[in-house]
Amino acid sequence: MILGAIAAGGLLPLALLPLVPALLTSHPALLELLRGSTTAIINMGARARVGETSLVLAVLLAVPSLMMFDWAFWWAGRRWGDRVFVWLLGGSSPRTERRLARLHGIESRVGPFAVVLAYLLPIPSALIYAAVGDGGMRLGVFLVLDLLGTLLWSGLLAGAGYGFGQQALDVANAVSHYGLWVTAALILIVAVRVRRR
């Protein structure tokens, strides 16, 4: 179940990628709710600036999709301990051991703060979530801290969109216009490379 949730967390954004160009301008709230991507949040913040929606909605809509699979990484850390880090970091090596030691140091010193600041730190958030799970943080505490961190991130992005206003909407319109073709081309390139291998 844990591995299935982690895999779904990686595959779902890819599966929804073709919807981005179509929903970016026609249904931006739905796009933010489904994907919670940086582009979608900034787009909704810009729409709040021009009066199409509220800034509160721009901040809150991304929260469910951003947090949807975070619990799985916490649970993986709780259940498998250091083995999950070796898996997430790409196998056992001296470099992995150094990263693991650094991660445990961060976990012991600033675990709760790291969860809140996970989107801003130069460490993949999945590693932070697994580390605090391994460190014994209770699920309820983790979810509250994760919610605070997600609101902080979403608020920063929506605020950036609000600050850019119409300029951000002009970029969103351009992405919407050309994005479907770019997405189709990227999928084709990836399919050809996978087939060659």
| CA distance between the termini of the chain | 30
Q: What is the mean pLDDT of the chain?
A: 82
Task: Report the C-alpha gap between 133 and 138 in whole angstroms.
Answer: 7
pLDDT value at residue 99: 76
Amino acid 109: pLDDT:
75
Q: What is the DSSP string of 152-180?
A: HHHHHHHHHHHHHTHHHHHHHHHHHHHHH
Give Cα separations from 33 to 3, 55, 161, 181 (angstroms).
Answer: 24, 14, 16, 23
Does residue 11 surpass a pLDDT of 80? no
| Max avg pLDDT among 28-42, 45-59, 71-85, 118-132 | 45-59
How much of the chain exceeds pLDDT 70, in percent?
86
One-letter amino acid at 59 equals V
Q: What is the Cα–Cα distance from 33 to 53, expressed in whole angstroms?
A: 14
Q: Is the pLDDT of residue 69 over 60?
A: yes
pTM: 0.76
pLDDT at position 57: 95
Per-residue confidence at 176, pLDDT binned at 50, 70, 90?
A: low
Q: Can you give the residue ranges of every domain in the chain?
A: 2-196
106 within 8 A of 114, measured Cβ to Cβ:
yes
Q: Give the largest CA-CA distance in the chain.
A: 54
Those residues whose C-beta lies under 8 Å from the C-beta of residue 16, and which sit 6 or more positions away, are: 34, 35
